[in-house]
Amino acid sequence: MTSPEPTIFERIIAREIPADIVHETETLIAFRDIAPQAPVHLLVVPKTAEYATVAELAEADPALLAEVVATAKLLAETHADGHYRLVFNSGEAAGQTVFHVHAHVLAGGLDEGSLA
């Protein structure tokens, strides 16, 4: 069986390509989005590549999803004023381009146009 191509996030986690990493634990990593849609736009990414969407993660590992949410709050407090929007795109037609579950943390002065 051939394994699927690693996603861009797996390559960032493996340090094969650079990213502006702002937070890392054993289970997740957070870095700045390369094409920010808000003054602060961070991605919080579980290291496991097993789950493509937030619903899959919620069903299989709710504790890890809770870590993602807690990390988003922490980062919004340390990188902005603590107010933030948390976005999980699920499915191509909804704008998902990387099929490795991730949370967009949008903060630092949001307006109507800053949906990731």
Taking the C-alpha atoms of residue 45 and residue 63, their distance in angstroms, rounded to an integer, is 14
- From 41, 100, 102, 104, active-site residue: 102
Name which position in 62, 82, 91, 95 contacts ligand 5GP (CB under 6 A): 95
Instruction: Report the residue number, 31 or 51, with the smaller CB distance to ligand 5GP.
Output: 31
Beta strands in 1-116 (DSSP E): 21-24, 28-32, 40-46, 84-87, 103-107
Provide, rounded to whole angstroms, the least separation between the CB of residue 97 and ligand 5GP. Answer: 4
Structure token pair of residue 76: 């919004």
Q: Active site includes 83?
A: no
Provide, rounded to whole angstroms, the least separation between the CB of residue 93 and ligand 5GP. Answer: 12
